């Protein structure tokens, strides 16, 4: 009996993608399938970046197909293709940027910026083109964490080049607003300065632009959530009741403006004593997960309170770069993959698919 396309498809249908828990056929990841005698060739195209897993996915697909009766040679190519997803209604899209992910927190100091930069670096490590827009007016810290110094170049009038640190294209509100400017003055000018930064930076083919939002849920944050074309929002919180209460406000703010919540990350979840390894839940336990259940949103993961996270970020080499194979980087990478998979599951932007309709006067 000769090998058929149907038999190959049935075998692939039994193969579950460990990341999405969906089989490759249902996920529409199988492309260019050819069966010619005993020769099988196909591409697996994932909708999220996963460079570190291409080889293991390839091997598992080959392993399954080789078992088929009549199969001789199996050739599989695994890659990722990230597509653009929809944003709030009525907001102008950004050229050169497929998806914008806002990283927000209900209150300051919960580690939002540190989490945002490590997420950006983890997505880049998996092969995505990533940018960082530092919108944190109260403490624009992304240039420092990405090891960037100096000011951006402006090649043409009204545009500026992003600065690059550890492969991430970055632009910061710190480039436009003086560090010494008083906060009352920063407030009113901030939304227009940010829109300028967002739209006048010449982002180059980004799969994801991470926006490090200003902490809180006041007018500035609400205006930004309305004006920035966001694909989805990630909320960072610590487990204290007060932080969770504020995180709830953040959740509601994005909900109100029609931005989907990608999920919640709990930072400084536990403290592991470096001398004896004892784990302490300094700020309580389970708050983030409970909140996710209550609101029906995804819990993306938790990070421990760890001295090296702070030291590495302060030194301009965040953990994912400083210790890429360490246990903490593994947590950031798992969270980043969950974020990318969730974004991939959101509705796709079809605007570029529609033909232009030209009305001609006759």
Ligand X SMILES: Nc1ncnc2c1ncn2[C@@H]1O[C@H](COP(=O)(O)OP(=O)(O)OP(=O)(O)O)[C@@H](O)[C@H]1O
* φ, ψ of residue 309 in degrees (nearest 5): -60, -45
Instruction: Enumerate binding residues for ligand X (CB under 6 A).
Output: 105, 108-114, 136, 138-139, 141, 215, 267-268, 303, 305-306, 309-310, 313
Decide whether 83 or 315 has the Cβ nearer to ligand X. Answer: 315
The stretches of 74-167 forming alpha helices (DSSP H) are: 112-125, 142-145
Q: Which residues are annotated as a binding site for ATP?
A: 106-113
What minimum distance in Å lies between the beta carbon of 198 and ligand X?
Answer: 18
Smallest distance, Å, CB 130 to ligand X?
Answer: 18
Distance of closest approach, residue 322 Cβ to ligand X, in angstroms: 13
How far apart CA 175 and CA 142 sit, in angstroms, is 11
Q: How far is the CB of 25 from ligand X (least distance, A)?
A: 40
**CB-wise, 126 or 212, nearer to ligand X?**
212
CB of 293 to ligand X, least distance (A): 23
Closer residue to ligand X, CB minimum distance, 138 or 299 = 138
Task: Count CB atoms within 10 A of the CB of residue 41.
Answer: 14
For ligand X, which is the closer residue by CB, 152 or 215? Answer: 215
At its nearest, how many Å lie between ligand X and the CB of residue 360? 53
**Phi, psi of 28, deg, nearest 5:** 60, 35
Residue ranges at the known binding site: 106-113
Backbone CA torsion sign across 172, 102, 247, 320: negative
| Cβ–Cβ under 8 Å, residues 263 and 299 | yes
C-beta closer to ligand X: residue 74 or 144: 144
Residue 113 CA: distances (Å) to CA of 14, 135, 136, 263: 41, 10, 8, 16
Q: How are beta strands 97-104 and 261-266 bridged, if at all?
A: unpaired
Between the CA of residue 89 and those of 128, 149, 225, 226, what are the distances in Å? 26, 37, 12, 9
Residue pair 216/228 in contact (Cβ under 8 Å)? The answer is no
Residue number, 247 or 309, with CB nearest to ligand X: 309
Kindly report the CA angle at 361 between 360 and 362, in degrees rounded to 5? Answer: 110
Task: Provide the total of helices (H) and of strands (E) in the chain, helices listed first.
Answer: 11, 13
Contact 127/340 with Cβ under 8 angstroms? no
**Identity of the residue, 133 or 344, whose beta carbon is nearer to ligand X in the bound complex:** 133
Cβ 357 to ligand X shortest distance, Å: 45
- The alpha carbon dihedral of 241, 328, 254, 199 has a sign of positive
């Amino acid at each position: 009996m000769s090998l058929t396309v149907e038999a190959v498809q049935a075998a692939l249908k039994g193969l579950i993608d460990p990341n999405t828990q969906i089989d490759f056929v249902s996920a529409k990841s199988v492309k260019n399938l050819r069966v010619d005698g005993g020769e099988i060739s196909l591409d697996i195209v994932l909708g999220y970046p996963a460079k570190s897993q291409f080889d293991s996915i390839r091997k598992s697909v080959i392993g399954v197909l080789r078992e088929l009766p009549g199969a001789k040679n199996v050739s599989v190519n695994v890659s990722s293709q990230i597509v653009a997803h929809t944003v709030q209604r009525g907001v102008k899209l950004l050229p050169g940027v497929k998806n914008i992910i806002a990283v927000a927190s209900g209150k300051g100091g919960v580690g939002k910026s540190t989490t945002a930069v490590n997420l950006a670096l983890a997505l880049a490590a998996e092969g995505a083109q990533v940018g960082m827009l530092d919108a944190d007016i109260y403490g624009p810290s992304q240039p420092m964490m990405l090891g960037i110094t100096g000011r951006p170049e402006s090649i043409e009038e009204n545009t500026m080049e992003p600065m690059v640190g550890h492969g991430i294209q970055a632009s910061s509100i710190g480039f436009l607003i003086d560090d010494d400017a008083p906060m009352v003055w920063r407030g009113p000018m901030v939304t227009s300065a940010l829109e300028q930064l967002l739209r006048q930076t010449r982002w180059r083919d980004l799969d994801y632009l991470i926006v490090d939002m200003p902490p809180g849920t006041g007018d500035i944050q609400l205006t930004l959530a309305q004006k920035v074309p966001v694909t989805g929002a990630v909320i960072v919180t610590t487990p204290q009741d007060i932080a969770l209460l504020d995180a709830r406000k953040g959740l509601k703010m994005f909900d109100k403006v029609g931005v989907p919540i990608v999920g919640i990350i709990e930072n400084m979840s536990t403290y592991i004593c470096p001398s004896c390894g004892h784990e302490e839940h300094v700020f309580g336990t389970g708050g983030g997960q409970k909140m996710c259940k209550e609101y029906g949103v995804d819990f993306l993961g938790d990070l421990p309170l760890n001295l090296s996270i702070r030291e590495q970020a302060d030194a301009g080499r965040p953990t994912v770069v400083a210790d890429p194979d360490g246990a903490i980087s593994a947590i950031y990478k798992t969270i980043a993959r969950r974020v990318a998979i969730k974004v991939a599951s959101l509705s796709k932007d079809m605007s570029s698919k529609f033909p232009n309709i030209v009305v001609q006067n006759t």
